[in-house]
Structure formats: C-alpha cells, structure tokens
Amino acid sequence: MNISVPRGTEDLLPENTKQWQVVEDALKGLAHTYHYDEIRTPMFERTELFQRGVGDTTDIVQKEMYTFEDRGGRSLTLRPEGTASVARSYVQHKMHGNADQPTKLYYLGPMFRYERPQQGRTRQFTQFGIEAIGSADAAIDAEVIAFAMDCYQVLGLKSLKLVLNSLGDKESREAHRQALVEHFKPYQEELCSDCQMRLEQNPLRLLDCKVDRDHPTMSTAPSILEYLNDYSSQYFEEVKKHLDAMGISYVVDETLVRGLDYYTHTAFEIMSEAEGFGSITTLSGGGRYNGLIQDLGGPENSGIGFALSIERLLMALEAEGITVETGHALDCFVITMGDEAKYTASSLVYKLRKAGFRTDQDFLDKKMKAQFKAADRYKAKYAIIIGEDEVNNGVANVKNLVEGEQKTIEFDKIIEQLETTV
C-alpha cells in the first residue's frame, strides 16, 4: 500500500530543514533583539474562539477551518491563525496584571486552513508572528511594522513594498459601513453570492473580494480615509510620523482591509516586488485590534501584531536569488582503516560530541577515498584519520578540509586543539 502525504501538506526533508532552521533562528534572534518572548499555544482550540475572535463572516471561519468534534461532543478547530490563540491565553492567564507592559510575545508553529493548494499556500503552513498587547501608543504600531520589515531585510531581501491603511475606530467604521451599503446596494444582484451576503453582514469585506475585484463599483467605493473621525485620523498620522522618523518607506492604500474582523486603526501588508515571485505578492500582514481582548472576556486592552508565512518567505528568497547559508554540516568526520581504528573512533567520536563538536563517522566499511568523499558531502571542516599505525602510536592525523593543512595530534589533545580553531 502506497501512502503519501495529504493534499496541501508536504514533508520537509533534511536538505530543506537546514534552511528552515537558519531562517527560524534569524527570526527568533530578531524577536530577542526587539524584546519579545516566546509563547506556545495548543494547535487546536475551542471553535468558538475563532468564531468570536476572527469573525463569523470571514472566509476563514466560513470556508477554511478544520473543525471536528472530540469524543466528548465538544467542537474543536485546528488553529487557522495565531492572534486569537495568543489573545485567549493573554486573557486566561491574566497577563494584563503583569508589571511590565505592554506584553510582547512571539510564536512560531503550524497553522491549518482548508483552501486550494498552490505555490506558497498549503493547508498546513508555518507562521511566525508577534503580538504587542496593552498599549494604544502609535509608536508600538511603528515598532511592529519595523519588526515585520526587519524579518525580511535581516535575510537580505530588498524587493519589498510596505502598504498601510487605517480602518479607524468603531465610530469611523460604522460611518464607513453605512456608506459602503449605500454604494453597493443598487448593484447587489450583480455581485457574487458571497458579496451579496457580505453586504448585509460585513460590507467592508467586499473590498477584499477576489471574484468581484474588477467590478466597476469597486474602484469607486467610498474610502475609509474619508470617514475617519479626528481621533482615528490623528492616530494614523502619528503612526506615519514614527515610520518617517525610522526612515521606513511605505505606500498608503485605502483599499487595504485585511481578512479578519478584529482589525481596527492600523492595517498593513508587506509585498514582494521581485520579478517572477508570482501573482500573489503578499508576504505578510498585520494590524491593530483594539476590541479583541475585551471580546474574549478581558479588559479593554488594545493590541497589535503581524504574522508571516515561512513558506512564502523562502519563496521570496528564491525569487531574489538569495541562498540561505547553512554553514558546515559537520565539525569533524572521523575516517578509519581497520577494526582497531573503529573501536578507537567510537571512543573519540563520543568524546568529541560530549565536548560540543558535531561529529560523525563511517558505518559502511567504505574505502578511505569514499570516506573522504563522504566528509566533503557533509561539508565537514575537519577529517580525523585513524589507521593501525595511528592506534599503535596514540595519535590521529587531523586535516583541515577548508585550508588543506594536516597535523598529527595525540588523541588526548585533539579536543584541546580543535577548541582553539573550530
């Protein structure tokens, strides 16, 4: 019986996971620099969390969630995104009571959405994201946006475009909502079935429709920026001023709405402008959510965050021709000739590993030439050669495979010598 991975999922083989590890380490290092601490939430939650947090009218909730009943009859859902889970944890564990605020968290892990698989979009995908909860200062919006840009720039990406918009506060959104209903109502029958429903439930979502995006009414739809009240308008201006102070370039796009209901005020996306990246250019996105914590039973604490797809980040690196350097696979590869040398090698390899050197040896009784080829394939920095004469004399030949230099070193001094060079 030939069993393959489920549609929309993939195996990450060792040659790929090395790249992933480098990318993940870079993102975690950036989180450390920005003073964000890691949080790990369950991969499944109560379905109600996403219905309330993400929004009943979103495509995620209506079409894309993996939902099931457990043996106790409870409805559970594999997490489709990270913010709702982090917000739930923030409320449940009363993080708002911590002395240090805002609470700054990052997460990294698999998410699940049932959608048509395509390049860079799979049904199980990996997200890295951050959440800063407990501050309504425009400066934290700018920090989150700067963090998001740095996630790509730290890996060498240059063909990036930052797009901003403001969705305003509750008052501004309600005024805009009424304007959208008045604008689209006369053409309701011309819209797709999803948009006809959205017009009644959440008209802002019409602006994000992929089916009706070329309908004439889309280009003439009222802009949210025209309906921002004084507070919302001033807040957006402050965010832009902070970005200007940082020297971060951006473009304001009044049609940017994002796909989740909890967003308020600042919304943003980062896109790749690399040639050949593909028709879907969005790499990541995020925004502010001033009502989410309260909706989940917490205090009136506001938050902002973003999330990126590791898969699409790797696609962007490939599009710009950037190779992720994985370094030497091994510090040492021990090459042996004869049975006694193998016993000695087992002891030496064990000691090298205990000392922190990534080390391996031949287990297939290959000839010396083939063992050297294996050391090259593993990109080992050093080859340690042990034969019958070396065993008898208590020494090994240690060859630097990068520089070509070779030395004869006593067994009990090899680790000491390597510690000064590796």
Q: 422 pLDDT band (50/70/90 cuts)?
A: low
Quick: pLDDT tens for 286-304: 999 999 999 999 999 999 9
Beta bridge partners of residue 272, listed in sequence order:
160
Q: Are 228 and 236 in contact (CB under 8 A)?
A: yes
3-state secondary structure (DSSP) of residue 384 = strand
Quick: pLDDT tens for 124-159: 999 999 999 999 999 999 999 999 999 999 999 999
What's the rounded Cα separation, in Å, for the pair 281 and 269? 10
Quick: pLDDT tens for 4-58: 999 999 999 988 999 999 999 999 999 999 999 999 999 999 999 999 888 876 7
Cα–Cα distances (Å) from 55 to 35, 48, 267, in that order, read: 30, 10, 17
Quick: pLDDT tens for 180-207: 888 888 888 888 887 877 777 777 777 7
What's the rounded Cα separation, in Å, for the pair 176 and 166? 12
Q: Single out the residue of 250, 220, 221, 222 nearest to residue 236, CA to CA.
A: 250
CB contact burial 81-99 (16+ within 10 A = b; e otherwise): bbbbbbbbbbbeeebbeee
**22: number of Cβ within 10 Å:** 15
Quick: pLDDT tens for 299-341: 999 999 999 999 999 999 999 999 988 877 899 999 999 999 9
Q: Are 127 and 108 in contact (CB under 8 A)?
A: yes
Query: DSSP letter string over 95-145?
Result: GGGSSS-SEEEEEEEEEE--S--BTTB-SEEEEEEEEEES---HHHHHHHH
Q: Are 195 and 206 in contact (CB under 8 A)?
A: yes
**Phi and psi at residue 356, to the nearest 5°:** 100, 5
CA 87: distance to chain centroid? 18
What's the rounded Cα separation, in Å, for the pair 268 and 123? 24
pTM over 0.85? The answer is yes
Sheet holding 380-386, edge to edge: 359-361, 330-336, 380-386, 395-400, 406-410
